[in-house]
Structure 1
Amino acid sequence: MSASTQQRYGLPLVARVSIVAAFLEAFTWAGLLAGMFLKYVTGTTDVGVSIFGALHGGMFLIYLAIALITAITLRWPWRVTALSIIAAVPPLTTIPLEIWLRRRGHLSC
């Protein structure tokens, strides 16, 4: 990426892709949780679980791949890499992680 492109957007492309993946992973988690509520608590429908279950499963794998690519590209310490992988497991944790990564400077070159 050229210096002018990075200045224009503020972050390298891999960092921006990582942020989008984190938000999509959290969004699909939220959808899956809502679907589980509808299925198990209200007993109304299981459509949300079937739709968001598949979406979240795919997004989870995509997020993990992007986290590893970002870690290698931006040369993260192993602890930051491990934290980014672990953050995909609890619901909605990838968003606070990405905020922390940005504040600590781990998303810049």
Structure 2
Amino acid sequence: MTDQAPHGGSRVLTAARAVSFAEATSFLLLLIATGIKYGADHPQGVKILGPIHGTLFLAYCALIGYLAFAGRWPRRRTVLALIASVLPVAPFFVERHWLRGDAGLAGGTTPPAGPGSRPVSRPAARRS
């Protein structure tokens, strides 16, 4: 990605990918820590991971909101990406399928080619 989207979109997209991955990972770790808290009576993991996950959750929601607005995402995609924040592994899906490349700022959908259309090839340049 050499061309930058307006207003630092490339940086925002990179941050959204990182936060999405971190938020999903912290959620899984928090679930494990919760099991340890109640199963082995060790609440330290939840005390540490709770605020970290909470911060990542808020950052994820804010970045999804920004990308949805700036990239003019369809409402369905925006709602699904926000619902993904409360499911343990769903942000991994969002990062993989909606936040890669230009998908985050360009809506992520490329119109399908029409029937009978072929890729356009350029003629080879002549050497002089």
TM-score (norm: length of structure 2) = 0.70
**What are the within-5 Å matches in structure 2 for residues 61-100 of structure 1?**
61-100=58-97
Equivalent residues of 2:13, 2:104 under 8 A apart = yes
Equivalent residues of 2:17, 2:99 under 8 A apart = no
Aligned to 2:30: 32
Equivalent residues of 2:72, 2:105 under 8 A apart = no
* Higher alpha-carbon Rg: 2
SS of aligned partner of 2:23: helix
Structure with the greater relative contact order (CA < 8 A, sep ≥ 6): 1 or 2?
1
- Name the structure with the higher helix share: 1
Amino acid across the alignment from 1:61: L
Equivalent residues of 2:16, 2:99 under 8 A apart = no
Establish whether residue 101 from structure 1 lines up as the match of residue 94 from structure 2.
no
**Which of 57, 60, 71 is residue 60 of structure 1 equivalent to?**
57
Aligned to 1:19: 17
Deviation at 1:12, TM superposition (A): 2.4
Q: Unmatched 5+ residue regions in structure 1?
A: none
Q: Structure 1 vs Structure 2: percent identity of aligned residues? A: 32
Establish whether residue 50 from structure 1 lines up as the match of residue 33 from structure 2.
no
Give the Cα–Cα distance (whole angstroms) in 1 for the partners of residues 79 and 11 of structure 2.
21
Equivalent residues of 1:12, 1:107 under 8 A apart = no
The root-mean-square deviation of aligned C-alpha atoms, in Å, is 2.4
Tell which deviates more after alignment, 85-94 or 12-21: 12-21
Give the Cα–Cα distance (whole angstroms) in 2 for the partners of residues 81 and 25 of structure 1.
17
SS of aligned partner of 1:89: coil
Aligned to 2:126: none
